[in-house]
Structure 1
Amino acid sequence: MARAKALTPAERSDIAKRAAVNRWNKDLPAAIYTGEIEIGDARLSCAVLENGIRVLTQSDMMRALGRSRQAKGRGFYDADVNLPAFLTAKNLKPFIPNELYVTSSQIEFRLPSGQKAFGYRAEMLPQVCEVYLKARDADGLTHNQEHIARQADILMRGLATVGIVALVDEATGYQRDRAADALAKILEKFIAKELQPWVPTFPDMFYEELFRLRGLDFPRETVKRPQYFGHLTNDIIYERLAPGIKDELRNTTPKLPSGRRKHHMHRKLTPEMGHPKLREHLASVTTIMRLSSNYEEFKRNLDKIHPRYGDTIPMDFGDKGL
């Protein structure tokens, strides 16, 4: 009471306004994970909301696109209420896909501090980059927009729709709590139906162990692997999975002029029988890998537990024989 009496009318009014703002903000979706990601020279604040939506803050989205002006409030034009200001230029309209009108709506959310913030869905960033790059390719940009296209080009080298989601989840720590197949489900939306079985098949641990057993460092920055790994995979997996399966997969998976297969052979396996058996075999093989000190020991163990179809299993009768 003594403190309240000591406050001036202006101070009491300010406290009341802040309390009212906090009450209003409680109705907004809360950011349950927050963090920062680095893309090129830009540091972007990001968050995962309690409804599962990943967002980049409005001001950082502008900065990532090379816009010097800070976003202020709802920067929309009356002509396109669902588009932010950096997409409302008339020359960009022919290059804006319909789905961007949905994902580009501004999102208000509540920070852990209780403050209100403005942002956009994280997957909108590569979509906006695509708009500027398509406009550039069609010679449809103004001189003042060319620097944004250059920035978009840089961003797209390290971004994809799935990639930005993964970056946000990693930066915020959300990847520890999300469903194990969350990224695979997102990826499924962007690949052909007949190639979907590729999504969850070969785990990273399989290749980590294969690199270790071959005495090689596992390259976390690239998916490239030594070309002879294909021959090892044929031996370790397909020649031991089922009788005749390697030859059948080879016959149904065409080769490119370079000599490489057009698709990974396991994409041709049926989801009803082939893929469950493949995943089961992979899990067993990976366990054998982890229990082996080197490739020679691994092959001995593998030949005992999963011999190639058509091979004679070596029998150990000890010193006495039969």
Structure 2
Amino acid sequence: MTDDARKAGGEARAAKLSAERRREIAKKAADSRWAKEGGLPKALFGSEESPLMIGDIPIDCYVLEDGRRVLTQESFLVAMGRAAKAKGGHGVRTSVDKTPPFLAASNLKPLIEKEVSGSTKAIEFLSTNGARVWGFPAELLPQTCRVYLAARDQGLLHYTQHHVAERADILVRALASVGIAALVDEATGYQEVRDRKALSALLDQYINQELAAWAKRFPDEFYRQMFRLRDWQYPTASGAKPGVVGKYTTDIVYDRLAPGIVKELERVNPKNEKGNRRAKHHQFLTEDVGHPALAQHLHAVIGLMRASSTWDQFKDLLDRAFPRKGDTLRLEID
């Protein structure tokens, strides 16, 4: 076959392809050329069709030809509770000083040297299907979690970072639990016969347990009404709540749930030397009794708040309807 014939045949086949298919073929060809010119590492294992599942979040992960384990950039960010894309739809990648933006906040920098080892630089590689992908080292995920948890323990978090710290807490607990299972499997040889998705399923189980523990129990309306009655701006400019809100919550809620409950919660969930607790009190309430009782009490309390015009009026109604456990009931005296 002559070159002209080959060219004509190729053009005829190309004409039959859809525009999307032609773009896909062109992209793969360009990626292949770039890999040869730029020396991009290639993934030998991994696929978007079989991601690691963390709760209901799919984490696309790969093992590169040089042995590095990587998580795709989008998966990494979503796992941390951040948007998969930065504003404008662009990826996050790495800043000039090789620190990813999710670690570049000034309040986190003092903790990075202690909690992060190895590279934090984004990695560009070819996935198993030949697509160019940006990712981060897999070991950076638990290390990043530890940075946010250390910042939380030291009271360094900005209010916009609290949700990331909560997600980090969930991830660290779950990954630690699955990590010991993987080590046992390797030591006993069970890894050779277990189902390939067994660890992922175990991780999913732990994640669901942790998510349940972190489930939001206090509706925003509770705080909105409290701020209204105290004549405070809601939300505050910083997003943080005044320190006295914790004392109000203890008085309005926990003191009135059951006798001795505050003392027991403070025993199992004590403050550290910095005055912070490792968890929220409601996380120690039981699912079958404690949480339903909390929800019922909050529903009634919010109703009293809405019916009140002042803080004193609300407290008077609260004391009548839900006296503190152990208090003597007030009697009406003419």
TM range (shorter): 0.3 to 0.5
TM-score by length of 2: 0.44
TM-score by length of 1: 0.46
